[in-house]
Amino acid sequence: MRRTRKRSTRAKRVVAASVALILGGGGLIAANVYASAGEGRGDPPPPDRQNAVSTIDCPDAAEALTEVPEAVRGAVDRELATLDSQITVAYQRFADSKERVESDPAFAEQQILAPLRNERLVILQRIVALIDREGDAPQNLVELAPCTLRADDDGGAGDGNEDGDGNEDGNGDEEPAEEGQSGNGPVASDFVDIRSVQPNVRKPRQRSGASRGTFATDCGRNQNGKFNPDNVIVAPGVSNGAHHMHDYVGNQANDAFAGDDDLARGRTTCRNQGDRSTYYWPVLRLQNGQAEDDAEADGGGKDQNVGEIQTPAQVTLNFVGSPVSKVTAMPRFLRIITGDAKAFTNGDANANASWSCTGFEDRQLKDKYPICPEGSKVVRTFRFQSCWDGRNTDSANHRTHVAFADPASGRCGNGFRAIPQLVQRIVYDVPPGPGFAVDSFPEQLHKPVTDHGDFINVFDERLMRRVVSCINEGRRCS
């Protein structure tokens, strides 16, 4: 962010005005207890869902912060992690008293929403003050303090199952379940028989000048069981910053406290030792009643993630080119997050993971888990952003320094350049039918739309040059 002179007086006026809006007249604003992400926050729900609340829905302050001065970015990230912890605690309070909440909205306001709003307000004020030290204070951030309760609107944040090109999947009907298999999701309507889905995958036509090669890196399947509930990209320096467990392949130094130097020195599970990158994603659990080792741990049972962690049957990590141009090297320590861990409450604008089954991968799901036929395996696919702004290895919201190419033309936007695109494919051999889910923040109810992947590039420069030349010259390398 451009450094500018401090404007503390104006910032304080903004905070004061916003606080007055939230707390105007000495009383807390009246919250719409039953709003959902698909209905405006002030719109009433349909009558048949008046009491069918299932989670807490809070505005995502991180998404609103598109610019944060570098000098305070770490401190701001830690404050944002505190907001996540507050929601986790409030969600547990909600879950423990759900029947009372549904029968008495006043109880929900007084015992859950009002305390959470006040706690969030303090943290949001801190974030405004931190940014104001180095530049322009964000406008209206504290107005994001109020949260609501919402219903599980039978299908998550999406408007139907679509692939990244916006194609309908044509899924069949499903019978909803009253309770999630682990107590907070998923429900039966989060699953669909893959055979009822119409093929929906379309790829941009490759044109003259396309980079047609691929580079494959083999980093294993996390057979050594490296797990932690940290997220060094989003919540550096914060233990349990993800509130769910991650699988890790590649760099073995990755935890919340790892800096670039730690990653550069870290051991790697990758066969090519020039790739010390870190690749991580939420674990998939079989909800079979078997207690995992983390049943009483942060990121596990304490955060409503239960069941037997599944080691992938296969993990492939391929870097591919652009359908319209050559690619340029990724900068070392480039950080990319694809998908949105909070897509159930945020909406699906940043949702990107795809679900399918072996033998049916021309049919991709975004907001449903697949029910695969006998002999077919569950597949998660992440296609990471393939356009880079040419300057930054990260950004305030960890998104704006990279972008997706236009789905129709395959071109990067103005000022962005094509880089090797990471395509991550993870296969699981799980019993057919419902009974599995990815880990998630507790309030996200283990929805498939919340799936996401994280990547930090720690290729050495020589190997990255080889990656680029292989892709640009149309070769297959590893």
Q: What is the pLDDT of residues 176-192, one digit of tens each?
A: 333 445 568 899 999 99
Average pLDDT, the chain: 86
Q: Does position 48 have pLDDT exceeding 70, yes or no?
A: no
CB 369 within 8 A of CB 190: yes
Domain ranges (residues) in the chain? 8-151, 188-477
Confidence of residue 154 (pLDDT cuts 50, 70, 90): low
Structure tokens at 161: 């199952």
pLDDT per residue as tens digits for the range 221-257: 999 999 999 999 999 999 999 999 999 999 999 999 9
CB 86 within 8 A of CB 123: yes
Distance CA 113, CA 111 (A): 6
Q: Which residue has the higher pLDDT, 289 or 313?
A: 313
What pLDDT was estimated at residue 202? 87
CB atoms within 10 A of CB 259: 12
| Average pLDDT of span 208-216 | 96
What pLDDT was estimated at residue 108? 95
Query: What is the value of pTM for the model shown?
Result: 0.85
Q: Does position 47 have pLDDT exceeding 60, yes or no?
A: no
Q: Please give the share of the chain, as a percent, with pLDDT higher than 90.
A: 77
Q: Does position 163 have pLDDT exceeding 70, yes or no?
A: no
| Average pLDDT of span 277-287 | 97
Q: Does position 91 have pLDDT exceeding 60, yes or no?
A: yes
pLDDT per residue as tens digits for the range 419-439: 999 999 999 999 988 999 999
Instruction: Please report the DSSP string for 368-433 in residue order.
Output: SEEEPPTT--EEEEEE---EE-SS-S--TTSSTTEEPPPTTT-PPPTT-EE-PEEEEEEEE---SS
Amino acid identity for residue 428 in this structure: Y
What pLDDT was estimated at residue 226? 97
Q: Does position 300 have pLDDT exceeding 70, yes or no?
A: yes
What pLDDT was estimated at residue 16? 40
